[in-house]
């Protein structure tokens, strides 16, 4: 409940300020930032945004890695692609932020109609 509560606090009462799922990801601090060097193309996590929301997404990722078979399969697949565990967790946090944005905006549309 702490995790869900923190994410709701981050969104706030004004959901209209979130014009896209990328804006929500930036608000939560899970938008990727290019950190490439030479021939290596990498992204790192955004250090800005709401750190507590970022920590809440991290807790969600850890729970999913432990219990969700789809997330475990994703971890295996991306490990075989050569990504590190940190990079995979970064990708998963972004994916979860995308899912949450869809849930938040779909609830807003239901209340308007």
pLDDT tens digits, 83-95:
999 889 999 999 9
pLDDT at 19 over 90: no
Exposure letters 81-102 (e unless 16+ CB within 10 A, then b)? eebeeebbbbbbbbbbbeebbe
Q: What are the structural domain ranges in the chain?
A: 2-112
Cβ distance 92 to 61 under 8 Å? Answer: yes
Average pLDDT over residues 69-83: 95
Backbone torsions φ then ψ of 75, nearest 5 degrees = -60, -45
pLDDT of residue 58: 93
**Closest CA relative to residue 29, chosen from 4, 10, 8, 2:** 10
Where are the extended beta strands (E) located within 3-49?
Answer: 32-34, 43-45
């Amino acid at each position: 409940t702490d995790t869900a509560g923190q994410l709701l606090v981050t969104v706030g009462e004004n959901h209209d300020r979130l014009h896209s799922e990328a804006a929500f990801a930036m608000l939560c601090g899970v938008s990727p930032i290019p950190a490439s060097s030479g021939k290596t193309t990498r992204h790192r996590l955004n250090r800005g945004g709401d750190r507590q929301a970022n920590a809440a997404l991290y807790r969600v990722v850890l729970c999913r890695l432990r219990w969700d078979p789809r997330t475990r399969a994703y971890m295996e697949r991306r490990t075989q692609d050569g990504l590190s565990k940190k990079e995979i967790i970064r990708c998963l946090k972004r994916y979860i932020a995308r899912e949450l944005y869809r849930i938040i905006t779909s609830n807003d549309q239901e209340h308007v109609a």
